[in-house]
């Protein structure tokens, strides 16, 4: 097999995160190829692999290289992120699942609302609309480093709750416990606003739409502070936008990136497959939570 080719997006687009990886077959990785991918993952935090066309089983096998897979819905380890139902029908925009998908259009990190946040996520594209439906990622390492020193010192001391109830309520999509993965009855987990990466040692902002109720602030003060921080963080050159092609696979580090889906014509099908890798103790365990 030819040598793995890693092209950082910084070289071609000027953004601080991400790389395109070619000359690999994710369905049949040898140890040397995996070692090159793992090094690139820690350096660039987002890797895009064109033309893979993975089966769900092959995607899960690739995801297991990064760690234990989260069981998401009804015992499934991979789920369809799609506006198309089980019988091929287009889901109504006011359906519960579509409201959850619309929530994904806000900047977030996966499973921060759970006691154990996600380590990594794998997403692959099967069916795409002709326009829209991109995915964007934002580099919270570079965002932290770009903060004014005084603000950086302040956020180093702050903690916030993370709640899927809160983030869905902000878009008018209230939910009941048990509706979907992540709506749990315990208190929202408490997390620092700054995360130290367990491998690289780099600091990054750990925020996103699920973050709320900073300790020591009123809810209104906390919301305004977090919104301002996220607006600052999610700007060029810290953002990469991916225009999907069928067969593309992306894997990213939830410990230092935010991501969001972009809108599209919801009368047209969009089918993606998502697999999520559980966080590791103690780096992804919340400071405080109740079950």
Domain count within the chain: 1
- CATH classification of the domain holding 245: 3.60.130.10
List, as one string, the DSSP characters of the chain: -PPPEEEEHHHHT--SS-EEEES--GGG--HHHHHHHHHHHHHHSEEEETT----HHHHHHHHHTTSPBPP-STT-SEEEEESB-TTSPBPPTTSHHHHHHHHTTS-B-TTTTSSB-EEEEEEEEEE--SSB--EEEEEHHHHHHHS-HHHHHHHTT-EEEE-HHHHHHHTT----TTSSTT--SSPPPEEESEEE-TTT--EEE--STTEE--TTS-HHHHHHHHHHHHHHHSSTTSEEEE---TT-EEEEETTTEEEEE--B-TTS--EEEEEEEEP-TTTTB-SB---
Q: Residue 60 phi/psi, 5° resolution?
A: -65, -40
Q: Which domain holds residue 102?
A: 5-278
Q: Which tokens is 39 given?
A: 């090094």
- Given this model, what pLDDT does residue 251 score? 99
Residue 32 is assigned to a structural domain of this protein:
yes
Is 55 a domain residue?
Answer: yes
Is there a domain that residue 283 lies in?
A: no
Residue 261, token pair as written in the block? 């889906």
In a domain, 114, yes or no: yes
Residues 6+ apart with CB under 8 A from 172: none
- Chain-centroid distance, C-alpha 243: 16
Proportion of the chain above pLDDT 70, given as a percent: 94
Instruction: Report whether pLDDT(156) > 80.
Output: yes
**285 in a domain, yes or no?**
no
For residue 52, pLDDT over 70 is answered with yes
Written in H, E and C, the secondary structure of 257-284 is EEEEECCECCCCCCEEEEEEEECCCCCC
Looking at every residue in the chain, the average pLDDT score rounds to 93
Q: Which residues pair with 108 in a beta bridge?
A: 259
What is the rounded CA–CA span in Å between residue 192 and residue 162? 10
Segment 239-263 mean pLDDT = 98
Can you tell me the distance from the alpha carbon of 20 to that of 42, in angstroms, rounded to the nearest whole number? Answer: 14
Q: Which residues contact 153 (CB under 8 A, 6 or more apart)?
A: none
pLDDT at 71: 85
Of residues 94 and 63, which shows the higher confidence score? 63
The answer on pLDDT for 162 being more than 60 is yes
Is residue 35 assigned to a domain? yes
Q: What is the pLDDT of residue 186?
A: 73
User: What are the pLDDT digits (tens) for 189-240?
Assistant: 999 999 999 999 999 999 999 999 999 999 999 999 999 999 999 999 999 9
pLDDT band at 60; cut points 50, 70, 90 = very high
- Does any domain span residue 291? no
Residue 28: Cβ within 10 Å count: 10
pTM (two decimals): 0.95
For residue 286, is it within any domain?
Answer: no
Mean pLDDT across the stretch 5-29?
98
Which bin fits 74, alpha (ψ -120 to 50), beta or left (φ > 0)? left
Give pLDDT tens digits for 82-125.
Answer: 999 888 899 998 888 898 889 999 999 999 999 999 999 999 99
């Amino acid at each position: 097999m030819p040598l793995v080719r890693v092209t950082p997006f910084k070289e071609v687009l000027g953004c601080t995160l991400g790389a395109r990886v070619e000359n690999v077959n994710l369905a049949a990785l040898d140890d040397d190829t995996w070692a090159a991918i793992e090094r690139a993952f820690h350096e660039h935090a987002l890797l895009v692999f064109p033309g893979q066309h993975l089966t769900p089983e092959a995607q899960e096998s690739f995801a297991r290289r990064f760690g234990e897979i989260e069981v998401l819905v009804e015992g499934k380890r991979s789920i369809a992120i799609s506006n198309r139902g089980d019988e091929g029908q287009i889901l109504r925009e006011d359906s519960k699942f579509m409201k959850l998908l619309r929530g994904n259009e806000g900047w977030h990190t996966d499973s921060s609302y759970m006691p154990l946040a996600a380590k990594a996520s794998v997403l692959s594209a099967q069916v795409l609309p002709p326009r829209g439906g991109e995915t964007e990622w934002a580099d919270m390492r570079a965002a932290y480093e770009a903060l004014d020193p005084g603000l950086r010192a302040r956020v180093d001391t702050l903690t916030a709750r993370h709640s899927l109830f809160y983030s869905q309520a902000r878009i008018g999509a209230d939910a009941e416990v048990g509706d979907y993965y992540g709506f749990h009855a315990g208190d929202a987990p408490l997390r620092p606003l700054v995360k130290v990466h367990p491998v690289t040692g780099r600091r990054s902002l750990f925020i996103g739409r699920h973050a709320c109720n900073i300790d020591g602030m009123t809810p209104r003060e906390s919301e305004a502070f977090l919104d301002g921080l996220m607006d600052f963080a999610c700007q060029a050159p810290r953002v990469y936008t991916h225009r999907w092609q069928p067969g593309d696979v992306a894997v990213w580090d939830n410990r230092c990136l935010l991501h969001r889906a972009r809108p599209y014509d919801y009368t047209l099908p969009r089918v993606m497959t998502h697999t999520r890798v559980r966080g590791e103790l103690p780096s992804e365990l919340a400071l405080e939570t109740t079950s």
